[in-house]
């Protein structure tokens, strides 16, 4: 075991270095090789974590929430392991541990903070049992990639069955996450926004998941929605309702970043961050709740939140020739609807580029575009819209059905260039998954 372990760790490190040298992402391959050489490497290394293992699951916001939680713990003086690049399947998780281990097979860490793709939980949990699972939300992802949301919920229940002592930290406003926490019979804590936030630019017609009670099948009634299916709900038949909220947010202010107050049973905390977008309240709140569950003080987190650089392409801003460009990834209907809300939080005149590709990782089926509430752009003070990407013409048609005029330019660079100068100097670029990398690279190169 000792020699195998050493060989596994050293091989993984060499492979990762070589991949970086050749400009490739080597994390997944390192993890794969390490496990080939030493099949039990993940159990061995994860058993050395001193204080606790967090896993973050959910459709949207996983990477943001997980990395934020990691920063909070590091700020409190703890040593951590985190798969911060978002490699969130089994091999990525193995790599996070292996690349942080010493050659002698020792790992010196207080917490592991690991984002896991929901479908991969069944493959990871045989090797370690997390102490906490954060459930950000469960939305429908690209149709042909993950299948039904019920399948995801079923997988998570089966995975949680493997770790009966795991505490779930669930989004109370999401009926699917909250129901899952209850169904699993695990101990759980909740976070959410109890009252209706009036200025929230929410959609009224978007398609929502979880319209039916998970316990009796009746149609749920909602007092209000924050966005998508997040809101205050109850079942008129069996009485199931949004659970009490352990970490509640009020005093929300969306002007110039996000400001709000988090209330929990023993403390109130005023958050001021440079994040934008109502949905980021949930990401901050989830990370805060998770760290608080360990009894941490978290006095320094406003400094982290104001210094925190969003991940690549998540509300990332660029200045190009005096034009402010805001790039944001949206890969599914819920993500897109949140993006539209974020655009609407800015009431000044603006231009918009929407890039839609249909490569394998995006999902070939783009019928989900019809589930996005693009109609709302009509009231968003948008002056010019250019649609781009391999499915630019589908997107143009989608806008046409909403009575919104747009111009199709398939080439992404030409599309953005079209609106960079001589317009509002306030440009939003919304892209789906495979369009992100090249768009960002190009914007970065053009930056002032």
Binding site for Zn ion (CB under 5 A): 213, 215-216, 218, 235, 237-238, 240
Q: How far is the CB of 275 from Zn ion (least distance, A)?
A: 35
CA gyration radius for the chain? 22
Looking at beta carbons only, is 133 or 213 nearer to Zn ion?
213
Active-site annotation holds for 365: yes
Residues 327/443, Cβ–Cβ less than 8 Å: yes
Query: Do residues 426 and 348 lie in contact, with contact meaning Cβ atoms separated by under 8 Å?
Result: yes
Residue 126, helix vs strand vs coil: coil
CB of 385 to Zn ion, least distance (A): 42
The Cα–Cα gap between 155 and 178 comes to 16
Looking at the chain, the number of H-run helices and the number of E-run strands are 15, 17
Least distance (Å) from Zn ion to the CB of residue 108? 48
- Closest to Zn ion by CB, 215 vs 222, is 215
Give 235 or 330: the residue with its C-beta nearer to Zn ion. 235
Q: What is the SS3 assignment for 205?
A: coil
In the block, residue with structure tokens 């490497």: 41
Of the pair 14, 238, the CB lying nearest Zn ion is at: 238
Residue 237 vs 302, nearer CB to Zn ion: 237
Q: Containing H/E element for 134?
A: strand 132-135
- State the nearest-atom distance from the C-beta of 183 to Zn ion, in Å: 12
Distances (CA, A) of 86 to 56, 67, 114, 306, 378: 11, 9, 9, 22, 35
Q: 3-state DSSP call for residue 319? A: strand
Q: Shortest Cβ distance from residue 345 to Zn ion (Å)?
A: 34
Under DSSP, the state recorded for 118 is: G
Q: Do the Cβ atoms of 433 and 357 come closer than 8 Å?
A: yes
| 3-class DSSP assignment, residue 313 | coil
Give catalytic residues, as residue numbers. 365
């Amino acid at each position: 075991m000792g020699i195998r372990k050493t060989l596994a760790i050293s091989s993984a490190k060499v492979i990762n270095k070589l991949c970086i040298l050749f400009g490739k992402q080597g994390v997944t391959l390192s993890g794969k090789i390490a496990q080939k050489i030493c099949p039990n490497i993940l159990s061995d290394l994860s058993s050395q974590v001193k204080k606790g293992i967090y896993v973050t699951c959910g459709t949207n916001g996983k990477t943001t929430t997980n990395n934020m939680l990691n920063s909070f713990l590091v700020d409190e003086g703890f040593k951590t392991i985190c798969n911060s690049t978002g490699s969130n399947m089994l091999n990525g998780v193995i790599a996070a541990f292996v690349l942080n281990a010493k050659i002698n097979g020792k790992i010196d860490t207080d917490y592991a903070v690991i984002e896991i793709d929901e479908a991969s939980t069944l493959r990871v949990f045989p090797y370690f049992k997390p102490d906490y699972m954060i459930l950000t939300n469960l939305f429908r992802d690209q149709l042909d990639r993950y299948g039904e949301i019920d399948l995801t919920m079923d997988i998570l229940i089966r995975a949680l069955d493997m770790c009966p002592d795991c505490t779930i930290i669930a989004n109370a406003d999401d009926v699917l996450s909250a129901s899952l926490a209850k169904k699993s019979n695990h101990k759980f804590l909740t976070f959410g926004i109890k009252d209706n936030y009036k200025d929230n630019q929410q959609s009224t017609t978007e398609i929502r998941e979880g319209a039916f009670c998970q316990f009796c099948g009746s149609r749920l009634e909602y007092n209000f929605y924050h966005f998508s299916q997040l809101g205050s709900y109850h079942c008129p038949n069996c009485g199931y309702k949004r659970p009490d909220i352990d970490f509640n947010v009020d005093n929300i202010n969306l002007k110039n970043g996000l400001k709000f107050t988090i209330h929990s049973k023993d403390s109130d905390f005023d958050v001021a961050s440079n994040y934008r977008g109502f949905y980021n309240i949930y990401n901050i709140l989830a990370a805060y709740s998770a760290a608080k569950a360990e009894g941490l003080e978290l006095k320094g987190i406003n400094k982290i939140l104001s210094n925190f650089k969003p991940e690549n392409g998540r509300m990332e801003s660029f200045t190009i020739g005096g034009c402010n460009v805001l790039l944001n990834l949206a890969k599914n209907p819920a993500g897109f609807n949140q993006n539209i809300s974020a655009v609407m939080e800015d009431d000044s005149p603006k231009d918009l580029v929407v890039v839609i590709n249909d490569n394998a990782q995006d999902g070939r089926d783009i019928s989900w575009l019809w589930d996005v509430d693009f109609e709302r752009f009509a009231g968003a003070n948008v002056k010019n819209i250019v649609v781009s990407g391999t499915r630019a013409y589908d997107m143009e048609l989608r806008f046409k059905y909403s009575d919104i005029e747009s111009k199709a330019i398939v080439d992404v660079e030409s599309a953005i260039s079209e609106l960079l100068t001589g317009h509002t100097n306030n440009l939003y670029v919304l892209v789906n998954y495979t369009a992100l990398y090249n768009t960002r690279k190009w914007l970065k190169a053009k930056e002032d």
